[in-house]
Amino acid sequence: MSSRPTVQTPSDPGRLPMTLPLLMEKKRLGDPIVMVTAYDYPSARAAEAAGVDLVLVGDSAATTVLGYSATTPVDLEDMLVLARAVRRGLTTPLLIGDLPFGSYEVSDEQAITTAVRMVKEAGCEAVKLEGGGEASVSRARAIVGAGIPVMGHVGLTPQTSTALGGWKAQGRTATAAARIAAEAQALQEAGCFALVFEAIPSAVSDELMPLVEIPVIGIGAGPATDGQVLVFHDLLGIRDGLGPRFVKRYANLQQEMNDGITAFAEDVRTRRYPAPEHTYSIDPGELADLHERLV
């Protein structure tokens, strides 16, 4: 006897789950692609409600939710826990899992094993890896060859930011921009279904876009890219400070959270909470019976 799998359907029946062919069609039509990061069930539900196209479980979780000062400390087990939570909150966006630092650099075999775990254990539909050098291109080609879609990432690659001179814009010389162009083309030839351009001059993006046939998602790369991505905590202001210059803040939830917790603490200390409306009642007769039993 077999059981039929439970199929989740979009809350909006007019919305179809995002697929790679639909993503390419959006590029062909010039329809902007929306991507956000998410790290747990609530952030996934917010992305779902907003109708975004792509959701990335980014290794930026290291700094946004795990308290590290860089992305490199987050490991594969961390990413699997976060990705599983996000998977449970999504129905229509395409779910992409970041391969964390140290989980794919050693060999093509290691990269395939990591990517397979992201798909099998967390339900990701694709993975993302950083860099367009020879090793990253080889890893991307191997993962694609194993049947798992890969998103590439060029420009500022946070996992190797130390080698790039820190968290700063890349491609600001002709030589550096030409290197990014070569990396983007190499990743495309390796079979990547899409690319992220991070922190490169807008004019450089203008020059590179005609060279790329797959969708390009920009973050700090200007308006010429096929879509845009921002980190969940950056765009909603769930952080201290303003963040990188390319961030547009659409809310200030950190301040609202701070204010809410402060108000709660004040109510508890002044005994304004809990008020009668926050408590449960008991039948007077039952209460009297209890009293007799306890005395």
Residues 214 and 283: their CA atoms lie apart, in Å, by 68
Res. 203 pLDDT band, cuts 50 70 90: very high
Q: Which residue has the tokens 């820190």?
A: 166
Q: Looking at residue 161, what is its pLDDT?
A: 52
Q: Which residues contact 40 (CB under 8 A, 6 or more apart)?
A: 65, 82, 85, 86, 89
Q: Out of 189, 198, 207, 277, pick the active-site residue.
A: 198
Q: Looking at residue 168, what is its pLDDT?
A: 77
pLDDT exceeds cutoff 70 at 7: no
Q: Looking at residue 274, what is its pLDDT?
A: 97
Q: What residue spans define the domains of the chain?
A: 20-251, 256-294
Res. 192 pLDDT band, cuts 50 70 90: very high
pLDDT, tens digit, 9 for 90 and up, residues 259-290: 999 999 999 999 999 999 999 999 999 999 99
Q: What does the pLDDT average to over 201-207? A: 97
Please give the structure tokens belonging to residue 221. 């790369």
Whether 198 is catalytic? yes
Measured between its terminal Cα atoms, the distance across the chain in Å is 59
Res. 3 pLDDT band, cuts 50 70 90: very low
Q: Which of 4-8, 87-91, 94-98, 128-132 has the least mean pLDDT?
A: 4-8
Q: Looking at residue 244, what is its pLDDT?
A: 82
pLDDT exceeds cutoff 50 at 6: no
Q: Which of 182-191, 238-247, 253-262 has the least mean pLDDT?
A: 238-247
Q: Looking at residue 8, what is its pLDDT?
A: 46
Q: Torsions phi, psi of 248, nearest 5?
A: -105, 120
CATH topology of domain 20-251: TIM Barrel (3.20.20)
Q: Which of 8-17, 29-38, 51-60, 246-255 has the least mean pLDDT?
A: 8-17
Res. 243 pLDDT band, cuts 50 70 90: confident
pLDDT, tens digit, 9 for 90 and up, residues 44-70: 999 999 999 999 999 999 999 999 989
